[in-house]
Amino acid sequence: MILYPAIDLKDGKAVRLLRGDMEKSTVFNTDPAAQAMDFVNAGCDWLHLVDLNGAFEGEPVNAAPVEAILAQSKTPAQLGGGIRDMATIERWLDKGLARVILGTVAVENPALVREASKAFPGQVAVGIDARNGRVATKGWAEETNVMVTDLAKSFEDAGVAAIIYTDINRDGAMQGPNIAATAALAHAVSIPVIASGGVSSLADLIALRDCGADLNGAISGRALYDGAIDLAQALEALNA
């Protein structure tokens, strides 16, 4: 199982939000590229980047720090937040991103997910952010009536590289991930699933790995910044 260290970008800085609330952000590093290199030097195989402002604005806002990370790091990175058209997808992949994450647009314009997955095989993931089993969009500000499993299943034949499933109520709360919901989703689809939200300890990571759902990976942010998880130690444990 891959451990994806998260760098959430707000106003050019690496932050963490509590349950997706932009008003409840904690700045962890004013230099996101330096933060990325800390993770890379600890041995991570991937970086998970989120343009938080972009998710709310509907277009890339934190391009400069993302480009700085890509310039310094050779480790594959995936990015979500404000990516809602083919031109933006193409631009980011040309700049060296390994994978783009489509969230809001996957609900509002699913045809784009199919088109992008076909044009860029293996480089398009779908981000499904949920509150109580229902999908939330636009930086989690809007709740829909779309059920998580229904949305995931609708992309079963689209060639999507992965589904990143975030339980909003757990995100940044350090209360442990929603293992049952994540495992249920992974069992419901053949697309690789990456767990996000609530990972607060090495035990949480081991529990996700061993939940029987063959998860592709798990994303962790706050626990790494707070020191609750030692990245090098966690990578070693997950690969054991």
pLDDT digits (tens, 9 = 90+) for 13-69: 999 988 888 899 999 999 999 999 999 999 999 999 999 999 999 999 999 999 999
Catalytic residue among 51, 129, 167, 171: 129
**Average predicted confidence (pLDDT) for the chain:** 96
Helical residues (DSSP H) of the chain, grouped into ranges: 32-41, 52-57, 63-72, 86-94, 104-108, 110-119, 148-154, 179-188, 202-209, 222-226, 231-239
Catalytic residue among 8, 51, 167, 204: 8
Task: Report how far residue 193's alpha carbon sits from residue 3's, in angstroms, rounded to the nearest whole number.
Answer: 12
Contact 222/172 with Cβ under 8 angstroms?
yes
Amino acid residing at 117: S
Nearest to 17 by CA among 28, 4, 32, 30: 28
Q: Which residue has better confidence, 172 or 65? A: 65
pLDDT at 79 over 90: yes
The predicted structure's pLDDT at residue 19 = 84
Q: Which residue has better confidence, 174 or 197? A: 197
Residue 147: partners with Cβ closer than 8 Å, 6 or more residues away:
133, 134, 135
Neighbouring CB atoms inside 10 A of 191's CB total 21
CA atoms within 13 A on the CB side of 222: 20
Write down all domains in the chain, each with its CATH number in brackets: 2-239 (3.20.20.70)
Task: Provide mean pLDDT across the span 60-79.
Answer: 98
- Our measurement of the distance from residue 186's CA atom to the centroid of its chain's CA atoms, rounded to an integer in Å, reads 16
Nearest to 201 by CA among 171, 180, 178, 222: 222
pLDDT at 172 over 80: no
The predicted structure's pLDDT at residue 189 = 98
- 204 is a catalytic site residue: no
pLDDT at 170 over 90: no
- 129 is a catalytic site residue: yes
Task: Report how far residue 163's alpha carbon sits from residue 153's, in angstroms, rounded to the nearest whole number.
Answer: 10
Distances from the Cα of 92 to the Cα of 118, 224, 225, angstroms: 16, 26, 26
Torsion of CA 106, 55, 5, 166, to 10 degrees: -50
pLDDT at 173 over 80: no
Residue whose tokens read 């277009």: 59
pLDDT digits (tens, 9 = 90+) for 90-113: 999 999 999 999 999 999 999 999
